[in-house]
Amino acid sequence: MADNTADLARLRVDYSGLDLDENTVHSDPFEQFRLWFDQVLASGLKEPNAMALATAGPDGAPSCRMVLLKAFDARGFVFFTNYGSSKGREIETNPRAALAFYWAELERQVRVSGSVTRVTPAESDEYFAVRPPLARIGAAASPQSRVIPGRAWLEQAVGTLQGLHPEGDIPRPVEWGGYRVQPASFEFWQGRRNRLHDRILYTRTDEMWKIARLSP
Ligand SMILES: Cc1cc2nc3c(=O)[nH]c(=O)nc-3n(C[C@H](O)[C@H](O)[C@H](O)COP(=O)(O)O)c2cc1C
């Protein structure tokens, strides 16, 4: 136990020595994200794909919650949810969002903002099919973000669906699926000593990414 603690402390000292430089970052922010994400995966952190998702309704009031990143490539960042949830209703009327990842042990944050579109039904089907049976049933049973009479009501809804689909082979509910956030900007933040952190901003101009350093 004591040895582990000592190792972790050393690890932290090492990471504090990392830097992020506008002259050496990848010219493509997706590649820079992939580099950092691979390092997070290798570090064994719990739920490294958890990200805060901020949306706003037509009145402009922001709301924020955690979701899990399930795929990313040059088209954007994909998460799955219920289209009828609060976030879903906000996105349908105002299809813009911001994401934030925070990996404390690496002293790193990534922010992304951009426009949001639904993934194709085929992509949602594909992901729904690989969810564990009880997660599929749970997604189908939950009218996400709606007021419900109590926990017993939800458990009964799950029980009813389990009775109808004992193998868990339930089809994807039409109101459940993925969204893709297509970035217009990225910001990579690396913690540095004395609060003199590195912040590298990528903004999209036509087909190019412009890179700038922001003051911490
Ligand atoms: C770590 C973590 C991961 C989560 N991942 C998801 C997710 O991928 N999709 C989802 O719909 N909700 C996810 N949730 C639940 C949401 O934070 C939220 O409670 C739910 O989506 C309803 O949000 P809304 O009422 O703003 O639509 C997650 C919560 C936590 C704490």
Q: What pLDDT, in 10s, does the model give residues 144-188?
A: 999 999 999 999 999 999 999 988 789 999 999 999 999 999 999
Write out pLDDT tens, residues 45-64.
Answer: 999 999 999 999 999 999 99
**162 alpha carbon – ligand 1 mean position (Å):** 23
**pLDDT value of residue 5:** 53
With a cut of 60, say whether residue 12 has pLDDT above it. Answer: no
Average pLDDT, the chain: 92
Task: Say if residue 88's pLDDT is above 60.
Answer: yes
Residue 186, pLDDT score: 98
Report whether pLDDT(2) > 90: no
Look at residue 4 in the predicted model and tell me its pLDDT.
58
Give me the number of domains the chain comprises.
Answer: 1
Residue 154 forms part of a structural domain? no
Whether 63 lines ligand 1, by a CB cut-off of 6 Å, is yes
In a domain, 168, yes or no: no
**105 phi and psi, to 5 degrees?**
-65, -25
97: phi > 0 → left, psi -120 to 50 → alpha, else beta; which?
A: beta
- The answer to whether 53 and 67 have CB atoms below 8 angstroms apart is yes
157 within domain boundaries: no
Domain extent, residue 25, equals: 2-119+181-214
C-alpha 27 – ligand 1 centre gap (Å): 32
The answer as to whether 139 is a domain residue is no
Q: Looking at the CA of residue 145, tell me the nearest atom of ligand 1.
A: 25
**Is the pLDDT assigned to residue 95 strictly greater than 90?**
yes
- Residue 20 belongs to some domain of the structure: yes
The yes-or-no answer on residue 75 being catalytic is no
* Residue nearest atom 30 in ligand 1 by C-alpha distance: 66
Q: Is the CB of 47 under 6 A from ligand 1?
A: yes
Tell how far the Cα of 66 is from the centroid of ligand 1, in angstroms.
Answer: 5
pLDDT at position 14, please? 45
CA distance linking residue 181 with residue 202, whole number of Å? 16
Residue 206 banded pLDDT, cuts 50, 70, 90: confident
Is the residue at 172 inside a domain? no
**Mean pLDDT score, 76-87:** 98
DSSP state string for 129-152: HHS-HHHHHHHHH--TTS--S-HH
CATH label of the domain that carries residue 204: 2.30.110.10
152 part of a folded domain: no
Grouping H, G, I as helix, E, B as strand and the rest as coil, residue 108 is strand
Residue 155 forms part of a structural domain: no
Average pLDDT over residues 181-200: 95
Best of 45, 65, 146 to mutate for ligand 1, by most ligand atoms within 8 A of CB? 65
The confidence score (pLDDT) of residue 1 equals 43
- In this prediction, residue 115 carries a pLDDT of 98
65 CA to middle of ligand 1, Å? 6
Angle at CA 210, nearest 5°, toward 111 and 192? 50
In testing the pocket of ligand 1, which one of 47, 80, 81, 91 has its CB within 8 Å of the most ligand atoms? 81
Using alpha carbons, select from 56, 52, 84, 50 the residue that is nearest to residue 69.
50
Predicted confidence at residue 56, as pLDDT, reads 98
